[in-house]
Chains A and B, each alone.
Chain A
Amino acid sequence: MPEPDVRGAGGVADGSATIAFRGGGFQPQPRRLVPFIVFVLVIGLWQAASWRGWLPDLFMPSPWQIVGAFGDMLHSGTLTRHVGASLSRIALGWLFGTTAGLAVGLAMGIFSVARAGGLPVVSALFPIPKIALLPLFILWFGIGEPSKVATIGFGVFFPTVIAAYTACDSVPRNLIRMGQSFGLPAHAIVWKIVVPGAMPGILAGFRITASIALILVVAAEMIGAEYGIGAFILSAGNLMQTDQLLAGVTLLSLLGLAVSTVLGAVERIVLRWR
């Protein structure tokens, strides 16, 4: 075998070859323009199809018509009224459900008796689509706000319980042992180790319950409400005002985005240590 000739590396005549690169890829890279292009393209195609008359206005209004309907709602003040009604129901229901859910979930995460007693009840009630209970809540609380708030609260409660107690389980045992080894009293172990350690799981649960609250508020408002995004969408559908209907749907998308932005900010602050 001849001595390798370093000078000739990459050359042809001496039979050497450069090693072909075969790594890289399979790693998402930021592509800042692509999201905008796709978004504009989809809306643009939709608008173009409407102009061309491929989409009947009555069943599929153009983006421009939806924006118009949006503007009308904004001017007449119906927008604020509907959004305000929905938001206050979501806020109240979510707050009640989350407060109760955290109390029960943390208790189940910390105390064996609470876990053993709570788990079968939670497992039995969790799978019920909570909107099915609205008629019962209407009988109990009347057609007004309390029945809607209760439905949302109930829907938020169970996922919160599950998120909280599984988050307690995910707190590393060695941290708890450390607390014991330094003689920390049980309440200090709970408040200084278990609860902060469970925060990532609890906050992840908030994302789920926020979307559940949004679903339930729309469903509840469709069953019986004067104001609220759900009621607005339903009545727009009944009157075949599809531009208004889709404006309401767009509103839901924006609302969901806003909620997830807020939760993202909360996560960044609370979980700064990660």
Chain B
Amino acid sequence: MDLRLDGITHRYDGLLVLDGIDLLIRDGETVAIIGPSGCGKSTLLGIVGGLLRPSAGTVRTIGKPRADSLNPFTYVFQDFALLPWRSVAANVALALEHHPLPRAERQARIKAALGLTGLGDFADALPRQLSGGMRQRVGLARALVVRPAVLLLDEPLSALDAQTRELLMEDLLAIWARERSTRLYVTHNLDEAARLADRVVVLSRRPGRIREIVSIDVPVAERLSASALPVIAAVRDRLWALIRDEARVAEREVQHA
């Protein structure tokens, strides 16, 4: 299933945040979206998943999502959005409870998702007992359990410390090698974009427009190898060069909110 964004435009109370975003996302591709603060990255993700209504423009799917997908567009949130009163397994189960599934399949899906995210031994733990990294793994497991066609990751590692972020990036690459879905990854971290994505969409300062799309010519499966490092570093520098001046202006801007 491909995804096509046509002229996505969004205003908050008259303030134009996204202006005419056209983008084709191919099935199975990982697209990162970066840009200076306030460029509408997260807004764009909200629109793609149907949580926000765009002021203008459309998001279309081309083709059918995979047959076993219970929730084709599935989010992973920056703040994890876990229910604190539910255990890890119950948080993951939440995504399945309103779907008529045989009990065995439900259990199997939950077990597989927990295994894939390294949470097998933590099924009964409560969120407050977990570190930030483990909490986001629960968020990931909950997203994977519905077998999404498009995984919408909204700054998924931003709330984590640098070391945990590093670990989760490795885990994400491993998961992406095994789980086939299209991925839209919003981040302000250039390193994440350069290491995790096939293509990086660079948005301009508000109103967000596509400035450039940078392709990374190392298959995601080989991203952890030593030979990938120079390529990733070069992409990272390129992205910074693209974004730097605007990031500085954006930083000095008075908040409108």
Give every chain A residue within 8 A of B98 (Cβ-Cβ). 183-185, 188
For residue B77, which residues in chain A have a CB less than 8 angstroms away from its CB?
Answer: 174, 178
The reply to whether A177 and B97 contact each other, CB–CB distance below 8 Å, is no
Q: Give chain B nearest CB distance to A128 CB in angstroms.
A: 36
Chain A residue contacts of B127, Cβ below 8 A: 273
Given A188-B97, A273-B126, decide whether A178 and B85 contact each other with a Cβ distance below 8 A.
no
Beyond A188-B97, A188-B98, A273-B128, whether A182 also contacts B83 by CB under 8 A is no
Instruction: Kindly state the interface size class of chain B when it binds its partner.
Output: 20 to 34
**Cα-based distance from A164 to B79 in the complex (angstroms):** 25
Interface size on A, residues (CB 8 A): 20
A235 CB to closest chain B CB, in angstroms?
48
Residues of chain B within 8 A of A177, CB atoms compared: 51, 81
Given A192-B94, A273-B128, A181 and B83 touching (CB < 8 A)?
no
Q: Is B28 an interface residue (CB 8 A)?
A: no
Q: Which residues of A contact B73 (CB under 8 A)?
A: 181
Contact string against B for A residues 259-270, beta-carbon threshold 8 Å, 1 for contact and 0 otherwise? 000000000000
Residues from chain A with Cβ under 8 Å of B79 in the complex: 174
Interface of B is mostly: loop
Q: Which A residues touch B86, using CB under 8 A?
A: 273
Q: B79's closest neighbor in chain A, by CB?
A: A174
Nearest residue (CB) in B for A177 is B51
> Using a CB–CB distance below 8 Å, which chain A residues touch chain B?
172, 174-175, 177-185, 188, 192-193, 196-197, 199, 273-274
A sample of 13 more A-B contacts (CB under 8 A), given A181-B71, A183-B71, A192-B94, is A174-B79, A174-B81, A175-B81, A177-B51, A178-B81, A181-B51, A182-B95, A185-B98, A188-B97, A196-B85, A199-B85, A273-B127, A273-B128
